[in-house]
Structures are given as C-alpha cells and as structure tokens.
C-alpha cells in the first residue's frame, strides 16, 4: 500500500498514511478559505459520527488528520469512508459553519514584544527595522499606522488551532490580492512573550504561551487565551479559548486601556467579548467587504 | 499514605502515564511515557495497570525519600537504582522502607528509565491523564519537571511483590546503532528520487536536540523538487501551508536535519514531513541517546500492521511472565 503515499481522490485531495495510526489528507496545496471550509466540514461530519476507534480529529488550514486505532477500524475501509465524506461536502460552498465573532484587544508596538524583537535582530531580514515596520514596508504601506488600520480593519478566520496548546492561526478574510504576506524570521527566536500577536506567511496568530517562535511580532493582547489551571472565568469549561471557526476582530487599544484590561485579567475579571454567528462561504465570496461588515455588527 | 519527597530532581524527571487523547486538535499532544513498552513493564513489575503514572527519568536520575514502605521497579534505560546507596537491579521489583532514599547510578545504556511505584504516582488527572506536558504547563506536578522539595503522593491499590524479574528475552535491546521503521508519505513527493534515497540510505546521527517534543538528526541533505511556492506556504522549498503533524512524523526543515516528533509534539506547522515512525518504534527513538546512529527503514502499511500485532503479542507475553 505504499503506493497510497500520494493517492489523490477525484476531487483532488491527497490521502496519505501517517504511520500505523494516522491518516493525513491534504485538501489543497494552496491556502484558501474554501479549502479550510472543506477541512472543517469533513472533520465536523466525522466528529458527529463518533465512530469507534477514532482518537483524534484535527482540522487544519488546508488539510486535516485523523488518529485512529487500526485494531478497531480497518485502515482501507476507514480511508474509503473519509473519501465518501469528502464527496458529501463537495465544494463546501453550501456549508454553514456555526462560528463565534470574537473581539481581541491589541496593544500594537508594545514594550514587551519590542524588547524581545530587539534581542533577535541577528535572525531577522531587516535588522534596522522593527517587525511591524518591516511588514508595513514590504506590503507597500506608507506608515505603520496605515498597516495597523488594515490589520485591525478586517476580520480573521481561525483556520487552525495548534502548534502549542491553544494557539490560533488566523486567515485574513479579504480577497487574496489584498492579503498581508510576511516571511517568518530567518531563524526562529527562542523567546516570544505570552499573548503576542504574530504574523507569518499569510497567517496572523496569537501565541498562547511563552516560548520559541518564528512569526513576526506586531503587538500583544491582554486577553488570556489559554489557562491550564482553569481558574479564569472564560476557562471554566475548557482550558483553551480559541476554536477553529472563530472569527476574530483585532481592536487596537492604547497603553492605558491595556494596563486596565491586563489588571482585570490578572484579577480574573476579564471576559473576551464574543457572539455566536452562522457563516456561509458563498455569500462571503460574492461580497467579502459587505459580508464582513454585517459579521462585525454583531459585536456592536 | 506513602509520599515521595524529591531531594534532587535529576536532569528532567516528569510524571508520565499512558497519555491523553482527544485534545490534539487544540494543540495539546498525547504526552505520556516516550517508551510505552518500558512503561508497561515497569508497571507490571509492581502490579499496576500498564498505563499507571510513573516517573520518566532522562539521562540522570533523581534522589527520592520515601515517607512509608513501597514496592518499586525500574525499567527502560540501564540506570541502576540504589537504596540508601546499595545498588538494586533494573527490570526487577524491590521494596523500600519508610525513610529510605532512592538514588540512581549513572546511565549505562538507553536514554529513559521508568520508575514505577505500586499504587502509581497519584497526582491530579488533567484532561484524563496525569502526564506532564511542559510546553502547555499541564498535568504532572504543576505542569513541569520535578524540582527539589516536590512531594509526590502514592496511590492506594494492591501492594506490589518484591523479587519479580522480567525475563531477559522480553527486555528491549538498547543499542547505539538502531533501525527505526517508517511508513513513507505525507509530503515525500517534495523529495526528488535522490532526496528520497538519501533519506533512507543515510546513517543519521542523533544530535543533543532530543527531548519530549522531538529528536533532531544530522548527517545529510535531502534534495527537493523545484516548484512555484503555493499561496500561503512560504518561500523555502521545504515549506508547506501549515498542516497538522502526526505523532512520529519526520519533518525536514530546509532539507537538512530531520526531526522525529514525539509524544509532546508541536501539533502542526509549515515544514514538509516525509515519513512517519511506526507507533511501536517510537520506543526505539525514546531510548536513543545523542550520537546514536540511526537508519530509517521503509515498510508498507501491511508490514506496519503486522509489526503492530507482534508488539501486542509481546505485551501479552510480558504480562503472562509477570502475572503468573
């Protein structure tokens, strides 16, 4: 069965074994919201079926993987079933996802990520600029202020949660020609402050914990998104706040508001503002700006 | 209730069990003992369920004081335990008394030893497991490796029996030259035929970057197929649109220094993976110390499933040998 290594379905997805316990499916080589919708819809169907022997269902940006017990589920029959799910989802244009619109306050150009980035200039493309100055320049914006207005001006779709516990990858909900693109650091840093708002490739992210990282650092949020002690109010049920499908608006804040919200977060009094919403792909693709405007109105 | 007081923590001693399941899609990996077979052996030697919580000891052992009697056993790496300075064998259960101090000799073979205590290490379960996931500050003792002064509760349960010995034929071979079986796939189409052959023909050397997250090897360079980078992937030929990483998957950033992701894996990222280590052979990786020479040997899925069945039979024989 090693010939499966790059077996493709009729719809172009690529199926591969990941050893004896994983099936890996690449739905598209390129990132797109549509590929992510397929991953969400297929893994959503599989999750609702809860078949015996399925241990982990992990949707990702344009792919997904399943960990299963091959002593319970016969691998080839299971793989055939995943292909059936792909056929049922089709182009995903008719899929409605139950999402949340989530507001994340961000102090851009904060002192903590600035101090950190200055320690790692030897690993950066442009040692004489800060990360956000570099990102603004290579994306053709005249000023950092203009760049921040764009980064915080459109919503972002959480296309994957992972790398480390609770870290969301966020895909900009604008047509491709308007998307921000920034390379990762030349060599990864060994340090990133907790709750850093970062950028790599076409994804924004929020570092859930302090640690290594290769994404450019734009700012920091006072909002905790991971609490393994589950003592903060947003974490009573889950230690991870962000879910695949969360639609995020970054709201720029100043230092005074940051200090206020951070103090509230420390005292266990900060809640992340969020509202449930249904998200349909086709109307979004037809009129992204109009659709985004309506999405963000639920936060008002 | 017997407790264990940590006098010296060792290099990176953590509480680990069979691991947790169902949270990988949120970035929380399975964790658990890196060498699951030795975990089962250590537990069976003291009469515990195979996946009970133990201490995973890496390279250098801790010094532990017992506040009451206990039956204990060490399995995995050859790192001889000592009771009040007197050496005890590995792969054999023995008793410690109130006030006894358990320490360890230096490492002679392998990399990770498992100290089981009858009743299990009874820290609080987090998401269905007592395993430590340090990157996420989750499980074990405050989500971190042990430090001096920690106190570990021992669970209640049937008392262990001293003097149980695992037959030599049921112990894993510990070698500085190993073969690790893999199923090729994932993004191996990004390699040229020469790159693929180099991956399988190279004798790789394990670097000191070898921890619960991943094991990095050096020794060659893998040639990749030329391409236009797909949107969102990144410019490097080894970049992909960030995807999920299977446990045991082997990624090759920049085409050099393959990394085997282990049970504390980062759950996803943007580097091409070219193969996945068989779940059972992750035990072999776990017992590799830096400088271990390693060949990745390709098997197909049917062979992988046959080897998986053989491993299960071995576990049954191990339990039969100790439960009699």
Closest-CA residue in chain B for A183? Answer: B234
Instruction: Report chain A residues whose CB lies below 8 A from the CB of B244.
Output: 24, 58, 60, 63-65, 160, 162
Hey, are the CB atoms on B246 and A32 less than 8 Å from each other? no
pLDDT at B158: 82
| Strand B293-298 relative to strand B204-210, pairing | antiparallel
| Strand B177-184 relative to strand B293-298, pairing | parallel
Degrees to nearest 5, angle at CA A29 with A25 and A30: 130
Class of domain B177-311: mainly beta
3-state secondary structure of A173: coil
Q: In what order do the strands lie in the sheet with B81-83?
A: B86-87, B81-83, B101-104, B63-66, B3-8, B151-153
pLDDT at A15: 98
Instruction: Report chain A residues whose CB lies below 8 A from the CB of B138.
Output: 165, 228, 239
Of A17, A19, A202, the CB nearest to B277: A19
Q: Rounded CA gap, A243 and A100, in Å? A: 9
Q: Rounded CA gap, A18 and A179, in Å? A: 32
Per this entry, what is the length of chain A?
300
User: What residues have CB less than 8 Å from B138, skipping those under 6 apart?
Assistant: A165, A228, A239, B28, B126, B127, B132
Judged on CB neighbours under 10 Å (0-12, 13-18, 19+), A80 is exposed
Which residues face A182 on adjacent strands? A201
Query: pLDDT tens digits, residue range B232-272?
Result: 988 888 999 999 999 999 999 889 999 999 999 999 999 99
**A-B contacts (CB, under 8 Å):** 193
Tokens 């970057």 — which residue? B209
Hey, are the CB atoms on A162 and B25 less than 8 Å from each other? yes
Of A18, A202, A244, the CB nearest to B186: A18
The answer to whether the beta carbons of residues A168 and A158 sit under 8 Å apart is yes
Interface check A48 vs B, CB under 8 A: no
User: What residues have CB less than 8 Å from B49, skipping those under 6 apart?
Assistant: B43, B120
| Strand A216-220 relative to strand B94-96, pairing | unpaired
Of B234, B266, B279, the CB nearest to A163: B266
Query: pLDDT tens digits, residue range B136-185?
Result: 999 999 999 999 999 999 999 888 999 999 999 999 999 999 999 999 99
CATH number of A98-297: 2.40.100.10
Q: Rounded CA gap, A171 and B299, in Å? A: 37
Q: Rounded CA gap, B71 and B116, in Å? A: 8
Interface check A186 vs B, CB under 8 A: no
Q: Rounded CA gap, B80 and A157, in Å? A: 53
Domain boundaries, chain A: 2-91, 98-297
The answer to whether the beta carbons of residues B45 and B322 sit under 8 Å apart is yes
Instruction: Report chain B residues whose CB lies below 8 A from the CB of A164.
Output: 27, 135-136, 266-267
Q: Tell me the nearest-neighbour CA distance from B205 into chain A, angstroms.
A: 22
| Rounded-to-10 torsion of CA B64, B65, B66, B67 | -140
CA distances from B322 to A10, B41, B163, B169 (A): 52, 9, 11, 13
The structural architecture, per CATH, of the domain A2-91 is 2-Layer Sandwich (3.30)
Q: Rounded CA gap, A99 and A33, in Å? A: 14
Per residue of chain A (300 residues), give pLDDT as tens.
344 555 676 678 999 999 999 999 999 999 999 999 999 999 999 999 988 999 999 999 999 999 999 999 999 999 999 999 999 999 999 889 999 999 999 999 999 999 999 999 999 999 999 999 999 999 999 999 999 999 999 999 999 999 999 999 999 999 999 999 999 898 889 899 999 999 999 999 999 999 989 999 999 999 999 999 999 999 999 999 999 999 999 999 999 999 999 999 999 999 999 999 999 999 999 999 999 999 999 988
Per this entry, what is the length of chain B?
324
What string of DSSP letters covers B148-215?
A: TT-EEEBPP-S---TT-B--GGGSPP--SEEEEEEEE-TTGGGB-HHHHHHHHH--EEEEEEESSSEE
Structure tokens at B10: 């060792």
User: What residues have CB less than 8 Å from B141, skipping those under 6 apart?
Assistant: B15, B123, B132, B150, B152
Long-range CB contacts (< 8 A, 24+ apart) of A23-26?
A23/A65, A23/A66, A23/A68, A23/A75, A23/A78, A23/A79, A23/A82, A24/A63, A24/A65, A24/B185, A24/B186, A24/B243, A24/B244, A24/B246, A25/A63, A25/A64, A25/A65, A25/A82, A25/A86, A26/A62, A26/A63, A26/B243
Which residues face B275 on adjacent strands? B184, B250
pLDDT at A10: 65
Q: Tell me the nearest-neighbour CA distance from A185 into chain B, angstroms.
A: 11
User: What residues have CB less than 8 Å from A280, skipping those under 6 apart?
Assistant: A95, A96
Percentage of chain B surpassing pLDDT 70?
100
Q: In 10 A of CB A6, how many CB atoms?
A: 15
CB-side exposure of A57: number of CA atoms within 13 Å?
A: 18
Positions in chain B short of pLDDT 70: 324
Of B27, B186, B307, the CB nearest to A162: B27
Closest-CA residue in chain A for B275? Answer: A18
Q: Rounded CA gap, A286 and A61, in Å? A: 21
Of B135, B234, B277, the CB nearest to A201: B234
Helical H runs in chain B?
A: 36-45, 193-201, 282-286, 301-323
């Amino acid at each position: 069965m090693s010939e499966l290594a790059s077996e493709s379905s009729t719809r172009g997805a690529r199926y591969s074994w990941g050893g004896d316990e994983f099936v890996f499916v690449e739905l598209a080589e390129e990132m797109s919201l549509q590929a992510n919708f397929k991953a969400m819809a297929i893994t959503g169907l599989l999750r609702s079926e809860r078949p015996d022997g399925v241990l982990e269902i992990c949707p990702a940006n344009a792919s997904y993987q399943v960990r299963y017990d091959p002593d319970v589920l016969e691998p080839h029959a299971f793989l055939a079933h995943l292909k059936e799910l792909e056929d049922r989802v089709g182009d995903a244009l008719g899929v409605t996802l139950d999402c949340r619109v989530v507001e994340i306050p961000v102090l851009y150009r904060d002192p903590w990520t600035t101090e950190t980035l200055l320690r790692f200039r030897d690993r950066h493309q442009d040692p004489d600029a800060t990360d956000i100055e570099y990102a603004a320049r290579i994306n053709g914006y005249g000023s950092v202020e203009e760049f921040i207005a764009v980064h915080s001006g459109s919503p972002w779709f959480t296309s994957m949660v992972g790398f480390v516990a609770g870290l969301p990858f966020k895909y900009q909900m604008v047509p491709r020609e308007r998307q921000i693109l920034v390379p990762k650091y030349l060599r990864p840093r060994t340090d990133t402050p907790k709750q850093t708002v970062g950028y790599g490739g076409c994804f924004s992210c929020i570092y859930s914990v302090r640690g290594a990282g290769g994404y450019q650092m734009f700012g920091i949020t006072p909002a905790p998104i991971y609490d393994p002690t589950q003592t903060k109010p947003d974490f009573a049920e889950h230690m991870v706040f962000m879910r695949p499908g969360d639609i995020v608006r970054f709201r720029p804040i100043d230092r005074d508001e940051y200090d206020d919200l951070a103090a509230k977060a420390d005292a266990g009094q900060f809640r992340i503002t969020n509202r449930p919403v249904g998200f349909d792909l086709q109307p979004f693709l037809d009129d992204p700006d109009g659709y985004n405007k309506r999405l963000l109105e639920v936060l008002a | 209730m017997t407790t264990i007081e940590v006098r010296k923590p060792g290099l990176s001693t953590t509480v680990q069990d069979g691991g947790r399941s169902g949270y990988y899609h949120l970035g929380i990996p399975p964790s658990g003992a890196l060498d699951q077979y030795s975990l089962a052996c250590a537990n069976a030697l003291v009469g515990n369920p195979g996946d009970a919580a133990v201490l995973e000891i890496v390279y250098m052992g801790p010094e532990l004081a017992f506040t009451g009697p206990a039956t204990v056993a060490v399995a995995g790496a050859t790192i001889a335990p000592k009771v009040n300075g007197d050496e005890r064998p590995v792969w054999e259960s023995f008793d410690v008394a109130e006030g006894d101090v358990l320490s360890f000799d230096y490492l002679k073979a392998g990399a990770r030893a498992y100290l089981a205590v009858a009743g299990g290490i009874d820290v609080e379960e987090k998401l269905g497991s007592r395993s430590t996931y340090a990157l996420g500050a989750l499980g074990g003792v405050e989500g971190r490796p042990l430090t001096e002064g920690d106190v570990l509760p021992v669970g209640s349960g049937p008392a262990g029996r001293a003097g149980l010995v695992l037959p030599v034929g049921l112990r894993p071979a510990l070698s500085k030259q190993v073969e690790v079986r893999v199923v090729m796939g994932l993004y191996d189409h990004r390699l040229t035929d020469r790159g693929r052959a180099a991956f399988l023909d190279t004798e790789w050397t394990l670097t000191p970057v070898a921890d619960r997250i991943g094991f990095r090897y050096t020794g060659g360079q893998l040639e990749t197929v030329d391409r236009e980078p797909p949107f969102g992937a990144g410019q490097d030929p080894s970049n992909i649109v960030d995807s999920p990483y299977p446990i045991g998957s082997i990624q090759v950033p920049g085409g050099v220094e393959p990394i085997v992701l282990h049970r504390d894996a980062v759950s996803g990222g943007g580097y091409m993976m070219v193969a996945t280590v068989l779940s059972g052979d992750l035990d072999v990786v776990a017992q590799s110390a830096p400088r271990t020479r390693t060949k990745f040997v390709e098997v197909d899925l049917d062979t992988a499933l046959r080897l998986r069945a053989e491993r299960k039979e071995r576990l049954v024989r191990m339990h039969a040998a100790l439960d009699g």
